[in-house]
């Protein structure tokens, strides 16, 4: 609440965006930790929920893995799992959207990282398919040398064939909530 008793407008807009996200035909919606055992169950649900060709199901599964690993590794909200490991928490929504399938994730990130994320997504979105492939080769070299890469976001852009859509909402001075979405044509 603001000092004058009015609700913070950015929080209302965030909730409106979130409910808009859910307003379409949802295939899968999950909120919680993205640990290995949960990912296994979600993967099986995706496989049985998607009434498409096996080629398209593989594409959806790859998208799911990339988005899930992004949350598991980079969410600022890390939870201790039953296996005594840490796993990121967040949300995943897969839904029908204008004849396509929309993958959307959300999780907390350190506000200090938001400019970096925006720059990387803007750069990825500026590349054509060949540019994405060349950039992917560069990112593999970073991974091999132990540096942080943008391989997951890059892979999502390649698989989907569409731009990534990123929204950031500050929570406080330390954390922001990020949503990343990509749409995949529902035909092959």
- Angle at the Cα of 91 from the Cα atoms of 13 and 93, rounded to 5 degrees: 85
Quick check: 43 pLDDT over 90?
no
Domains belonging to the chain, first-starting first, are 9-185 (3.30.565.10)
- The answer for residues whose C-beta is within 8 angstroms of residue 135's C-beta and 6 or more apart is 123, 124, 127, 154
Quick check: 111 pLDDT over 80?
yes
Quick check: 35 pLDDT over 70?
yes
Mean local confidence (pLDDT), 156-182: 92
- Angle at the Cα of 35 from the Cα atoms of 139 and 90, rounded to 5 degrees: 80
Residue where the block lists tokens 């295939």: 27
**Which tokens in the block code for residue 145?**
């040398």
Query: pLDDT grade, residue 15 (50/70/90)?
Result: low
- The answer for residues whose C-beta is within 8 angstroms of residue 159's C-beta and 6 or more apart is 59, 62, 63, 66, 182, 184
- Angle at the Cα of 177 from the Cα atoms of 135 and 79, rounded to 5 degrees: 95
The reported pLDDT for the residue numbered 21 is: 58
pTM over 0.85: no
Chain segment 49-97, per-residue pLDDT in tens: 666 677 787 888 888 889 998 898 889 999 888 778 888 999 998 888 8
């Amino acid at each position: 609440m603001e000092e004058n008793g009015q609700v913070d407008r950015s929080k209302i807009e965030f909730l409106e965006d979130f409910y808009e996200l859910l307003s379409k035909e949802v295939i899968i919606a999950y909120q919680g930790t993205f640990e290995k055992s949960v990912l296994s169950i979600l993967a099986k649900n995706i496989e049985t929920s998607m009434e498409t060709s096996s080629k398209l199901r593989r594409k959806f599964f790859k998208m799911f893995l990339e988005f899930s690993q992004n949350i598991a590794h980079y969410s600022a909200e890390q939870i201790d799992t039953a296996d005594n490991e840490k796993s990121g928490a967040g949300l995943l929504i897969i839904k029908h959207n204008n004849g396509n399938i929309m993958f959307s994730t959300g999780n907390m990130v350190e506000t200090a990282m938001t400019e970096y994320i925006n720059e990387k997504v803007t750069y990825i979105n500026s590349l054509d398919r060949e540019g994405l492939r060349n950039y992917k080769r560069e990112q593999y070299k970073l991974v091999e040398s132990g540096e942080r890469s943008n391989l997951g976001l890059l892979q999502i852009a390649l698989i989907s064939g569409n731009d990534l859509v990123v929204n950031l909402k500050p929570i406080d001075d330390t954390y922001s909530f990020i949503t990343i979405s990509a749409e995949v044509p529902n035909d092959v």
